[in-house]
Each structure stands twice: as structure tokens, then as C-alpha cells.
């Protein structure tokens, strides 16, 4: 068997997707813990962070069933993750966990951007709408997490490139398909570009130029 | 006529449902008053608290028409309730109203959990998803109320059992149906368990164990 | 050609609608700037303010495609508007822009109320629901903008008539149709009444009577 065979590729993608979903869920869990939510709040906010973006995309595109209805086992994984965290996690684990999660989170940004954009293109959306749906898939889980925790969404306010990496990745997919690339090639390119841009931003500490509208 | 005949039972259920909807609306009304919202804000927040949970469930399950579209008279009841409250309610009525509303609210938690779970099961949802829909029906009206009022949702942060009573009640319904009980028996058991757990929590002042992740 | 011919009327309506959408977008842009959001946040909040109300109405009525999917060019207009604002706008432009935008915003309140109510009536909603959908169309873009920016929605808390003008305009449309007026007449009357009430409120500084529930 050749390591790049389709079956192996599918396994790799599934593993990345699982790692990314867990990274998204952990971002919600850590935020909920910081806000001193109770057990219910921790589970709900972790669930919103993990599944909120894809669910909002599906509501907007009028697609059913949702990912977490079709694969309801993931809800059990989420509950188990939250239970384990509440049993074994201590405050001193928070900062290292948040740091470690940056990388699967970047991978998830890439994957969810690519899959969200592709789903919207298949549903017949115009290019700009499809790219926006990719951004919604990758970013709005975190946005809902922050709204419920009564914060301005970090994706809109921390000046570090996040949604904009998804935006770029979405256009890569649209461009690849316009150039006649196969679906698989387009998806991989889009995911890699979005994830690589995010990883680059993390490594360099690059921030978006500020719009500080002072009087000149 | 026997007092437990189906017609009488339906009347009793309708009366409990009406009382619970009014209790939910009043929780929104009191919160809006505390935040000094204007007349429009009071009506909208009361409406969100009363109908938001069921509406969100129906959006997620892609069901139409909503309860408040099919029974549009309820919107008039809500407007009338808000008008009466703004005319006759004084600050000294707030605390007693909130206390008195705890009991119809607990009844509503039971009823809306049972009906929400049942609707999702009928729509073919897996058990865990159906239970989650019961929780959404019973709890997310209050969550939307708190988000609009710029608070962290009380259901996620006050450490008193609320959503978790709905969660338990939902599993009672799933379990009853798995054991071959009739729909009516399952619904009644689920509603009674959820409401009784909530009432017990109110009477004993029980709180969920805190997750205060300090360094050990 | 007569200046009130249908073709000219359509042009006028399209121009008003464009101006109103831009006014709504600018309200989001200014709010995002005040909250020091980054470029992504500015674009998303401007988009929510411009398209959020109609999108929420369409989700509730289960209508597709959304306005911004069918006319995806508007998303480019929005991106261009935000780019221009971030390049050329200074803090000293904020207050005059907000003041100037009050008038197209009032026109938009009228137009979006009329069109939202009409769409809901065509979908078979009862009168009170249709009026509510008009209010949602005209008002909930601003509500979503304020929720994302972590503020209590201004429409619910500033005691100046806004949603209530939409509410009145919606009933004008329902009343006109009940009296047998043509769709066009009803729409124009509803839009004019809602916009005129808002303009009057702006000119007179009228505020809704406060509900300050103190002990008597």
C-alpha cells in the first residue's frame, strides 16, 4: 500500500478533523472556565465553539441534518471531554493547553474553511457567498462562544489574522476550481493555504494594521 | 365524568403550559426592567424569554410554523401582559413576583423539556440530540433573554440545577419509550421528573459542585 | 415620460433602498470603530447591521435565497465601503456621519418595514406576525450589531421611538390591504408613515415615557 492512497488520505483527514474539533471545543472549555461557568455552561460553550460555525452555515444554507445530528457520537465525545477536563484540569494547565491548541486550531481553520466553502459552492452559492460561508464555518463557533461569554468576539478584535486566513483560503478553492482543478486538489490547496497563513501569523506575531481613527 | 379523563387532562396541561409561558415572559420582563429598557425592549425581551427556546428548536429541526405563528393570539397576550406590567407594576413587586414565578417556571421546565424532546424524537433525531432539543426548548429562551440584556446566561453560571433537570427529564422520556411505554406516560414521567428535580433544587438550595480550577 | 411613471418610481425606490442599506452598514462601521475592532470586525459588524435584519426574517420565514446571496454584488459594495472608510475616515468625521445617516436610516426603517411586512403577509403569516416580521427586518440588523459589540441593543434601551415606528408602519400596511388598497399603495403608505414618524421623533427629540419602576 502506498502511503498517499485515498484510504490513507481519508484517515489522515479524519484524524485532523477530530483534532481540530477537539481544539475548538477546548477553546470553549477554557473560556467557560475563565468565566467561572458551571458544568452546564462549560459543556454548552464547548459545544458552541466546536459545532456552532458549521451549524450556523447549515442554517443559512438550509442544509439538514447537521453534522452533530448525523454523527451524534460526537456529542458524547464532547460531554466526555468536558467531564475529563472538569475532573483533571487545574488552572496551571490552562496556559499550556491554550498554547498547544493553537496548532490543531490552525489546522481546523484550514479544514473547516475548505469544507465550508466547498459545501456552499455545491449548493450553488456565488463565489463571494461561498467564501463567506467558509469563513462562517471556521470562525463563527468562536464568535458564538465569545458572545455567550459576554465578550466582544476575539476574531473581530484581537488584530491577529484569523478570519482573514479563512477568507484567503476560500478564494484559493474558488480559484482552483475556476482553473479546472479537481475538487480534491482545490480542497487541499485551500486548507493548506489557510492553515499555513494562520501558522505564519502565529509564528511571526504579525498583527493587522490598526484602524485607530484619530484626528489627523 | 372522571377527573382524569383525557379532556380534563388536556385542560390541565393547557393551563400549566399557559402559566409556564407567562412565567417565562415575566422572567424576561423583570430582567428588562432591571436593565431599564424601554417599552419596546421590555416586550421583545419578554417575548424572547417566552418563545425563544421553542423557536430556536424549530429552526434547528427545520419545523414550521412556529408556535407563535400558529397561535398568534399569544403575541397579543404577551403585549397585554407587558402593558399591564408597565402600568401597574412597582419596584416593590419585583422580588415577590420573581419568587412566585419560580413554581410555574419549574412546571414549564418540565413541560417544555418533555414536549421538545418528543418533537425531536418524532422528527427522527437520535436520543442524545432529542434530549438536547428538550434542553434547548426549556432553557434557551432564558439564554437569549440574558444575551440580549448583556449578561452571561444565568443557566450557565449560577450553579443551581436548571438545564441539568431538563437533561434528566429528556432521558426519562427516551428511556420510557425504549421500555415500550405509551407516549402519554413517557411525556408525563419526563415532565414530572424534570419539574420535581427543579422544585427539589429550589427547596433545598442545592448547587452544582463548583469547578474552581485553582492550582493544587 | 411622466415623473411618477412606474419605471421612475422603481428607480427612486432602488436608490432609497441603496442609500438605506449604506446607512445601516455605516451604523455598524461606526460602532465597530468605537469598539476598536480590527478590519475583519469592521466588515462583519457593518454586514450584520446592513443585512442581519432581513436575513433573520428569512430564516424565521424559511425563505431562500437571502438578499445578499441573490444580489451578491452588495457584499462587494460592503467590502469596498469598509475599505474606503478605513482608508479615509478620521475620528472627526464620526459625529457628522452619524448625524447625516439618521435620514437615510429613517427612510430605510420605512422601506424595510414595508417590504418585510409584505413578504410575511405573502407567506401567509397572520397580521400580528407579519407586522413583527416588518419590525425584525427593520430593527434586528442594529440589534445583532449591538449584541456582537457587547452592548444592550440601542433599539431596546434608548427610549427614542424606533421599533415602534416600524410597528405602526406595519399596521398601516395590514390596514390598507384590509381596506382593499392595492399592494403598491399599501407599501408606500406604510413606508411613509414609519419613516415620517421616525423623522418626527428625530426632529422633536421625543422620547418614550420611561418605565422607572420605583416604589410609590
Q: Would you state the cell numbers that stand for residue B188, as one nine-digit string?
A: 408525563
pLDDT in tens, C79-135: 999 999 999 888 888 899 889 889 999 999 999 999 999 999 999 999 999 999 999
- Report which secondary-structure segment, H or E, holds A148: helix A127-148
Residue A153 lies in a domain: yes
What pLDDT sits at residue A127? 97
Residue A154 lies in a domain: yes
* C-beta atoms of C44 and A156 within 8 A: yes
Q: Find, in chain B, the residue whose alpha carbon is nearest to that of A69.
A: B129
What pLDDT sits at residue C2? 46
What pLDDT sits at residue B3? 44
**CA pseudo-torsion sign A151, A153, A156, A161:** positive
The residue ranges of chain B whose pLDDT is under 50 are 1-4, 216
**Cβ proximity of C213 and B33 under 8 Å:** yes
What pLDDT sits at residue A209? 75
**CA pseudo-torsion sign A187, A190, A194, A196:** positive
pLDDT-based confidence at C5, cuts 50/70/90?
A: low
Residue A152 lies in a domain: yes
The residue ranges of chain A whose pLDDT is under 70 are 1-7, 9, 212-216
What pLDDT sits at residue A9? 67
What SS3 class is residue B124?
Answer: coil
Question: What's CA B212's distance to the chain center, in Å?
Answer: 28
Number of domains in chain C: 1
* C-beta atoms of C40 and A129 within 8 A: no
Residue C215 lies in a domain: no
Q: Which structural domain, as residue segments, surrounds residue A145?
A: 6-204
**CA pseudo-torsion sign B59, C191, C188, B74:** positive
pLDDT in tens, A117-168: 999 999 999 999 999 999 999 999 999 999 999 999 999 998 999 999 999 9
Residue B184 lies in a domain: yes
Neighbours of C91 (CB within 10 A): 13
Residue C136 lies in a domain: yes
Residue C47 lies in a domain: yes
What pLDDT sits at residue A211? 72
Q: Would you state the cell numbers that stand for residue A10, as one nine-digit string?
A: 481519508
Burial B183-197 (b: 16+ CB within 10 A, else e): eeebbbbbbbbbbeb
Q: Is the peptide bond before B210 cis (omega within 30 degrees of 0)?
A: no
Q: What is the mean pLDDT of chain C?
A: 91
* C-beta atoms of C37 and A129 within 8 A: no
Q: How far is CA B10 from CA A7, B13, B14, B16, B68, in A?
A: 56, 5, 6, 10, 19
Q: Write the residue in C125, C128, C216 that is nearest to B90 by C-beta.
A: C216
The C-alpha of A68 sits at a distance from chain B's nearest C-alpha, in angstroms, of 8
Residue C213 lies in a domain: no
Q: Write the residue in C35, C39, C69 that is nearest to A125 by C-beta.
A: C69
Amino acid at each position: 500500500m502506498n502511503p498517499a492512497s485515498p484510504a490513507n488520505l481519508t484517515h489522515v483527514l479524519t484524524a485532523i478533523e477530530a483534532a481540530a474539533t477537539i481544539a475548538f471545543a477546548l477553546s470553549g472549555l477554557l473560556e467557560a472556565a475563565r468565566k467561572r461557568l458551571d458544568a452546564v455552561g462549560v459543556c454548552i460553550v464547548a459545544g458552541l465553539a466546536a459545532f456552532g460555525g458549521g451549524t450556523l452555515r447549515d442554517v443559512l444554507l438550509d442544509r439538514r441534518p447537521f453534522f452533530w445530528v448525523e454523527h451524534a457520537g460526537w456529542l458524547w465525545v464532547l460531554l466526555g471531554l468536558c467531564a475529563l477536563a472538569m475532573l483533571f484540569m487545574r488552572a496551571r494547565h490552562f496556559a499550556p493547553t491554550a498554547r498547544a491548541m493553537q496548532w490543531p486550531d490552525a489546522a481546523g481553520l484550514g479544514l473547516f474553511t475548505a469544507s465550508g466553502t466547498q459545501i456552499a459552492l455545491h449548493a450553488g452559492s456565488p463565489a463571494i457567498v461561498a467564501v463567506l460561508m467558509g469563513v462562517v464555518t471556521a470562525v463563527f463557533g468562536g464568535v458564538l462562544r465569545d458572545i455567550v461569554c459576554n465578550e466582544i468576539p476575539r476574531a473581530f478584535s484581537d488584530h491577529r489574522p484569523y478570519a482573514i486566513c479563512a477568507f484567503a483560503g476560500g478564494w484559493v478553492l474558488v480559484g482552483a476550481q475556476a482553473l479546472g482543478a479537481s475538487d480534491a486538489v482545490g480542497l487541499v490547496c485551500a486548507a493548506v493555504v489557510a492553515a499555513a497563513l494562520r501558522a505564519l501569523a502565529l509564528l511571526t506575531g504579525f498583527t493587522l494594521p490598526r484602524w485607530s481613527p484619530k484626528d489627523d
